[in-house]
Amino acid sequence: MLRHLSCLCLFLFLAVSPLPTSAAEGDDPFEFLVMGCMPYYMPQDAERFQHVIAAANKFAPAFSVHCGDTKSGKKPCDDAVYGQIRGWFDQFAQPLVYVPGDNEWTDCHTEAAGSFDPVNRLSLVRRTFFSNKHESLGRQKIALTCQTDMQPEFANYIEHNRWSKGGILFNTLHIVGSNNNAREDNDAAMAEFLARDAASIAWLKAAFAEAAKPEHRALVLFMQANPLSETKRSEPRGTGFANFIPALREAVQTLPKPVYLFHSDSHYFRIDKPLTSATGQLLENFTRIETFGGHNLHLIQVKVTPTATDPLVASPLIIEANKADPSAPLAK
């Protein structure tokens, strides 16, 4: 009788006790896809983006991430554009996580983009692509942990989300090109920038604190902007990233685990290790991966082996139907 009671107690304990993340999620390898700055040159890219969707659906990843810029900054930011993109995102069979880009709102004040109020367009982005359900886009969904729940003081930033799989923590950051909307000649833009910059850095620090827990093996960040100077190694690209880069550098140095940053923005596929310490020493646990985009509508395939020392391996996934004709003029 005592033996049976002991077995019953053990069973009940296991049934109600949460398993560590890595054990609960398993150590099986998986793959995901990353894209950005697409579709860009409309209307000609409409068909090419359909090729992207078809390729992603055939690949059947665990999830995909779009790192922002769903149109050229020279195309108008009228309401219909956002609905059209949301409709295309809904065609992804597997979960799709989206990060806003500058062309969707920051650059909408220009005459070429229709002279819209950027804050108004940002509100439309949030209404169109994010909801209080805190879940991904795509026909299949994954649950997301949102900054609005974890840090209520930043209740407006519904686009800041994270999730995990195989002990890998994934985290989105709303940091965009065009100097992150830090326009010093515009008081409204600066007010927006300063508030979002504080929210982004708070969410960044929260991600690193979560990643430090033993159940997590690596941290993966997604954002739209390329925040690093092309000429001064490891320095901020502009004043809009002057707070972010030091915060990132400090956080990477304190986390003895791999950190990966995926972004779009420059339309230049690359994988490198550009981040250094304040003394110029290479931070070897940090890897930057930039997406294709602009004229080149291709995907990045990421293979994840959770138990590996460096669990992520990224490589280009060229879409045959989108290969460029070298003799054709560039779209504008």
| 331 occurs within a structural domain | no
- Asked if residue 326 belongs to a domain, the reply is no
Structure tokens at 36: 């950005």
CATH number of the domain at 79, please.
3.60.21.10
In a domain, residue 182? The reply is yes
Query: Does 5 fall in a domain?
Result: no
Q: H or E stretch including 300? A: strand 299-304
H-type alpha helices, 130-266: 147-150, 177-180, 187-211, 244-254
Render each residue's pLDDT in the chain as its tens digit; 332 residues: 434 444 434 333 333 333 333 334 579 999 999 999 999 999 999 999 999 999 999 999 999 999 999 999 999 999 999 999 999 999 999 999 999 999 999 999 999 999 999 999 999 999 999 998 999 999 999 999 999 999 999 999 999 999 999 999 999 999 999 999 999 999 999 999 999 999 999 999 999 999 999 999 999 999 999 999 988 878 999 999 999 999 999 999 999 999 999 999 999 999 999 999 989 999 999 999 999 999 999 999 999 999 999 999 999 999 999 998 888 888 87
Whether 16 is in a domain gets the answer no
- Helix, strand, or coil (residue 116): coil
Answer yes or no: pTM beyond 0.85: yes
Residue at 315 is within a domain: yes
15 within some domain: no
Contacts 24+ apart (CB under 8 A), 205-210: 205/247, 205/251, 206/147, 206/150, 206/151, 207/162, 207/169, 207/171, 208/251, 208/254, 208/255, 210/162, 210/169
In a domain, 9, yes or no: no
**Number of structural domains, the chain?**
1
Q: Which domain holds residue 220?
A: 21-321
